[in-house]
């Protein structure tokens, strides 16, 4: 079977799922599985809904991982993240849920996610989760997201 035959979203008309639970994450073989390196995905316009008020919440997500046998297929990741747009959950739940779903799909050597959330009720909430210590010797750049400063 060819790789293209196993992917259900790439190269196809794929509307976003109605919820994160319905969204499908897909993976592709890592051509450098014998090498430790960091892959980074940045989603500066992530949105979800407040589970209490239904108002939109906005975050800048940074996902770093050291792949093992699998890479995340980026269109499936984009559609998975988009499925949160009508999903009501607290910042902590959204951030950790995304990290855990990626770990379940990929079984990476290491993964971390930073959710830099814009203020709700005047308080920004940043959420960080990782699977453990990063492998020795990898180059792990700073996430590059400044802490929230308001207008000051």
> Would you call 94 a catalytic residue per the annotation?
no
Catalytic residue chosen out of the listed positions 50, 68, 93, 126 = 50
Question: Is residue 57 flagged as an active site residue?
Answer: yes
**Which residue in 5, 21, 57, 93 is the catalytic one?**
57
pLDDT of the residue at 147? 82
* pLDDT at residue 9, rounded to an integer: 62
Q: For position 2, what pLDDT does the model report? A: 62
**CATH number of this structure's domain 35-130:** 3.30.1130.10
As a three-state string, the secondary structure of the chain is CCHHHHCCCCCCCCCCCCCCCCCCCCEEECCCCCCCCCEEEEEEEEEEECCCCCCEEEEEEEEEEECCCEEECHHHHHHHHHCCCCCECCHHHHHHHHHHHHHHHHCCCEEEEEEEECCECCECCEEEEECCCCCCCCCCCCCCCCCCCCCC
Per-residue model confidence as pLDDT tens for the chain (152 residues): 566 667 766 666 778 889 999 999 999 999 999 999 999 999 999 999 999 999 999 999 999 999 999 999 999 999 999 999 999 999 999 999 999 999 999 999 999 999 999 998 888 899 999 999 999 999 999 999 988 877 66
The pLDDT value recorded for residue 65 is: 98
Domain boundaries of the chain, sorted by first residue? 35-130
| pLDDT at residue 5, as a whole number | 62
Verdict on whether the full-model pTM lies above 0.85: yes
pLDDT of residue 67: 98
């Amino acid at each position: 079977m060819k790789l293209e035959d196993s992917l259900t979203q790439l190269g196809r008309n794929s509307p976003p799922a109605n919820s994160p639970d319905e969204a499908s994450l897909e993976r592709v073989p890592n051509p450098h599985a014998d090498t430790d390196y960091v892959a980074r995905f940045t989603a500066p316009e992530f949105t979800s809904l407040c589970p209490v008020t239904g108002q939109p919440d906005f975050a800048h997500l940074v996902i770093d991982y050291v792949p093992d046998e699998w890479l995340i297929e980026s269109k499936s990741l984009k559609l998975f993240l988009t499925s949160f747009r009508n999903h009501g959950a607290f910042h902590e739940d959204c951030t950790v849920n995304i990290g855990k779903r990626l770990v379940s799909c990929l079984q990476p050597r290491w993964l971390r996610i930073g959710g830099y959330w814009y203020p709700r009720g005047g308080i920004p909430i940043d959420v960080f989760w990782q699977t453990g210590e990063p492998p020795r010797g990898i180059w792990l750049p700073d996430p590059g997201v400044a802490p929230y400063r308001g207008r000051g």
